Chain A
């Protein structure tokens, strides 16, 4: 008797497999190899880009759980990122010179951020039980402004308007084995802080992705999606709205605060102002999941890498003075007085256009495009 195709689902256990096909397992091995080899392939600049993309990917995974899987729109990301970042400053030794705070290891205050983020997420989750849609957006929007005010006034914790440095101490020693993430040695090569932070961030991307994947592919995940699709109906069939809505807020906020610690370490210094921790930061996270794909884990990662790398890709591949072919319109110019965008402005324009284009033409984002490509090759040479 012929064996069933590996991609055929015959029971619940088949459905739960993370890497069901040989192709997916090979991809996993290739990704691990890439993770280990990447410092040999890229320079400091790209390590810096990838480190930030990793940090954003972690936050976006958490946001996708809340917004994509549970249907709870949130503009409150900046508040949780700020919470995590200032935890990094306070517990990482950034305020020691002012006589406050602690000098703990990064892994200790990452845990503190998880707990603190989860606790604040619980409090925010409570009003979400009574609100949905635009009303919930307004509540989370308010959170950004309240948080900003708190950061500015809570000088012991944040340094007030002067802000706080965020030094990093990221070594682990278990007696028989030790590693310093500021200068890790990978495959015999000693790396610098950028690569170290990149490793740290992407290691946590994997952990966050697996954690959230496990939540969404099991019973709680189905409950969350039922809440997203029709919360009243979900409650009628026995899904506890309190439990699942609040849980989604708790997990998402904990992950966001966790990402905030890494964001603070990446920046090295943070002041509580609109530019750093305002609404724009929250919108950027939303843009990442819109472009990457709402309701998918790898969409969050694709979106973070794509949005994070876009300015550098433009910097590298677009000429300093570039006119639109045929029409000859000036698009990029080096001359500050002439018509045309600088490369930085062009990146912002493309970024804004992408949000519009994806929302209108491909609401499932890059992940949707990737799925269609997969489906095309899976059914090839047949078109359906």
Chain B
């Protein structure tokens, strides 16, 4: 009796073993990872992927946060309409208003960190810096919506775009090659991380391009800049590399006009705000004496595949959206996260560790020319952002207020820029 039972048990075990072996071999034969369904994890319920967005939706900085988030949303609306990530997983954004305050942003992070697969957007240098230790501690991944070079080598972040150092290097290179050789180049930068990044780019490129920075002044944002503008005027600067935000750009230019000081302004991307070109007081100065260094093609240039895709999606999902560089950046940001998610789904793992692994495997992030390609490599230390910038001259009647005079300029100086980390 006992032997019979034992025999039956062995028979069942054998049958199970054979079944497992057969199905296992079948799975191997069909390339299991490809067909793998990612198991449910926080932020993924088998059909929908949740991504977090921590961005200012109220307050002064919402002029940046709103179009950026709109760009994020439009990309995912279009992607979801095609089935979603890997054609089957829809993406849902969990948007939290940071009010551009670190405390509020940290609480927003703590609120949604357990409900999302990753963060599609975290806006603000100080906010990213504060959230970064928590991302590391909790093994989460997020996309910063600033161009600081500090993010280049951070494995928990998915940076896109050329950092400010690259913008300055390309801007100065363009100036020197277009009549600026032998002229006095000065710099005016705001007294914070962003300003420091711009000046770092200027210092590094001055060694490559072999010129001397005649005068450098710093200013506190939203303060009176008469003294600093006076110093530049007294130094007889022919060109000023300007690293500022739009509200300061306006007051700096007003002071320059007041002193009858008309250098060539080489502005980084954030110096510019659409509408400046038509300003009754400063508009003519901008048009005659300023160019800005940005990234990507002109708004509406559908000869560039990435721009054509974005415009098509914008017309369908946000027809009222006006031309806006932050919208384009937000769109590209979602595109970057999408490439990482596609890789994670391919690996069959949308967990925190799976996302980190996917970042290492994604190779190079591509945006169809909307932004430059960003090489990621197998570790954060191998990352290499695009070295290309677009030089744009201020011109009334253009969608964002400027016309492109040199697209895809990747100067030798920009190629030699080194990043910390």
Q: Which chain B residues lie closer than 8 Å to A49 at the CB level?
A: 107
Q: Which A residues touch B107, using CB under 8 A?
A: 45, 48-49, 52, 311-312
- In the complex, what distance in Å separates the CA atom of A191 from the CA atom of B21? 43
- CB contacts under 8 Å to B, within A327-375, are 336-337, 341-345, 348
Bound-state CA distance A194–B320 (Å) is: 42
Interfacial residues of chain A within 267-297, with CB under 8 A of chain B in the complex: 267-271, 273-276
Chain B residues near A45 (CB, 8 Å)? Answer: 107, 110-111
CB contacts (< 8 Å) of B106 on chain A: these are 48, 52, 266-268
- A274 close to B220 (CB less than 8 A): yes
CA distance A152 to B131 in the complex (A): 22
Q: Does A304 contact B (CB under 8 A)?
A: no
A165 at interface, CB cutoff 8 A: yes
Docked-complex contact A161 and B57, CB < 8 angstroms:
no
CB neighbours of B366 from chain A (8 A): none
Q: Which of B70, B110, B114 has the most CB of A within 10 A?
A: B110
The residue from A44, A47, A270, A273 contacting B113, defined by CB atoms under 8 A apart:
A44
Smallest CB–CB gap between B227 and chain A, Å? Answer: 14
Tell me, yes or no, whether B191 is within 8 Å of chain A by CB.
yes
A163 at the interface (CB under 8 A from B): yes
Among B104, B114, B130, B193, contact of A344 (Cβ-Cβ < 8 Å): B104
Residue-wise interface mask of A (47-84) relative to B, using a CB-CB cutoff of 8 A (1 in contact, 0 not): 11100100000000000000000000000000000000
User: Is there a chain A Cβ closer than 8 Å to B164's Cβ?
Assistant: no
Interface residues on chain A, number (Cβ under 8 Å): 36
- B221 near A274 with CB under 8 A, answer yes
- Does A162 have its Cβ within 8 Å of any Cβ on chain B? yes
- Interchain CB contact under 8 A, A336 and B130: no
Known A152-B191, A269-B132; judge A342-B102 contact (CB<8 A): no
A101 at the interface (CB under 8 A from B): no
Say yes or no: A267-B102 contact (C-beta < 8 A), given A336-B57, A344-B97.
yes
B78 at the interface (CB under 8 A from A): no
A167 lies within 8 A of chain B by Cβ: yes
Is the beta-carbon distance between A163 and B58 smaller than 8 angstroms? Answer: no
Instruction: Flag A192-222 by CB within 8 Å of B: 1 or 0 each.
Output: 0110000000000000000000000000000
Smallest CB separation, B58 vs chain A (Å): 3
Query: Across the interface, do B114 and A44 meet the contact criterion of CB distance under 8 Å?
Result: yes
Q: Are B110 and A271 in contact (CB under 8 A)?
A: no
The answer to whether A269 touches B129 (Cβ under 8 A) is yes
- Do A342 and B57 touch across chains, with their CB atoms under 8 A apart? yes
B99 close to A (CB within 8 Å): yes
Closest residue of chain B to A166 (Cβ to Cβ) is: B133
Q: Check A343/B97 contact, CB under 8 A, given A45-B110, A271-B192, A336-B66.
A: yes
- Using an 8 Å CB-CB cutoff, how does the interface string of B55-80 with A read, 1 for contact, 0 for none? 00111001000100110000000000
A342 near B58 with CB under 8 A, answer yes
A343 to B108, CA, bound (A): 12
Q: Which residues of A contact B195 (CB under 8 A)?
A: 161
B contact residues around A161 at 8 Å (CB) = 191-193, 195-196
Most central of B69, B98, B134 by chain A CB within 10 Å: B134
Q: Size band of the B side of the interface?
A: 35 or more
Which residue on chain B has the smallest CB distance to residue A337? B320
Q: Which residues of A contact B99 (CB under 8 A)?
A: 344-345, 348
Contact of B103 with A52 in the complex, beta carbons under 8 Å: yes
What residues on A are CB-neighbors of B102 within 8 Å? 267, 276
Q: Which residues of A lie under 8 Å from residue B125 when comparing CB positions?
A: 271
A315–B58 alpha-carbon span in the complex (Å): 14
Chain B, Cβ-Cβ closest to A162: B193
Shortest A331–chain B CB gap in Å is 13
Q: How far is the CA of A383 from the CA of B272 in the complex (A)?
A: 65
Q: In angstroms, how far is the closest chain B Cβ from the Cβ of A126?
A: 28
Bound: A320/B152 CA distance, A = 36
Q: Which residue of A lies closest to B124 (CB)?
A: A275
Residues of A within 8 A of B398 (CB): none
CB contacts (< 8 Å) of A341 on chain B: these are 58
Q: List chain B residues, Cβ under 8 A from A267.
A: 102-103, 106, 130
CB proximity of B68 to chain A, nearest CB, Å: 11
A194 touches B132 (CB 8 A): no
Report the separation of the CA atoms of residues A52 and B62 in the bound assembly, to the nearest whole angstrom.
24
Q: Is the CB of A269 within 8 A of B130?
A: yes
Q: Which residues of B are found within 8 Å of A44, using beta-carbon distances?
A: 110, 113-114
In the complex with contacts A44-B113, A266-B106, A273-B126 CB distance below 8 A: yes
* Interfacial residues of chain B within 90-141, with CB under 8 A of chain A in the complex: 97-104, 106-107, 110-111, 113-114, 125-126, 129-134, 137
* Binary contact track A136-153/B, C-beta < 8 Å → 1, others 0: 000000000000000010
Give the residue name and chain of the B residue nearest to A164 (CB): B129
User: Which residues from chain A contact B132 at a C-beta distance below 8 Å?
Assistant: 268-269
B40-65 to A contact mask, C-beta < 8 Å, 1/0: 00000000000000000111001000
Query: Could you say which of B59, B62, B126 contacts A163, with CB atoms under 8 Å apart?
Result: B126
B100→A275 contact, CB < 8 A: yes
Alpha-carbon separation in the docked complex, A268 to B195 (Å): 22
* Minimum C-beta distance from B330 to chain A (A): 12
Q: What residues of B have a CB within 8 angstroms of the CB of A48 in the complex?
A: 106-107, 110
Question: Which of the listed residues B62, B133, B222 has the most CB atoms from chain A within 10 Å of its own CB?
Answer: B133
B97 touches A162 (CB 8 A): no
Chain B residues in 8 Å Cβ range of A160: 196
Please, which residue of chain A has its CB at the minimum distance from the CB of B221? Answer: A274
User: Contact: B133 with A345, CB < 8 Å?
Assistant: no
Q: How far is the CA of A266 from the CA of B110 in the complex (A)?
A: 12
Interface centre among A160, A342, A348, by most chain B C-beta atoms within 10 angstroms, is A342
Given A162-B196, A276-B102, A311-B104: A271 and B58 interface contact (C-beta under 8 Å): no
A-B complex: 8 closest residue pairs judged by Cβ atoms: A345-B58, A344-B97, A269-B129, A45-B111, A48-B110, A344-B99, A342-B58, A344-B58
Q: Apart from A268-B130, A312-B111, list 12 A-B contacts with CB within 8 A.
A: A160-B196, A161-B195, A162-B193, A267-B106, A269-B130, A270-B126, A271-B192, A273-B192, A276-B102, A311-B104, A342-B57, A344-B98
Interface residues of B (CB under 8 A from A): 57-59, 62, 66, 69-70, 97-104, 106-107, 110-111, 113-114, 125-126, 129-134, 137, 191-193, 195-196, 220-222, 320
Q: 7 A-B contacts, Cβ less than 8 Å apart? A: A45-B107, A52-B103, A268-B106, A336-B62, A336-B66, A336-B70, A348-B58
Q: Which residues of A pack against B, CB within 8 Å?
A: 44-45, 47-49, 52, 152, 160-163, 165, 167, 193-194, 266-271, 273-276, 311-312, 315, 336-337, 341-345, 348
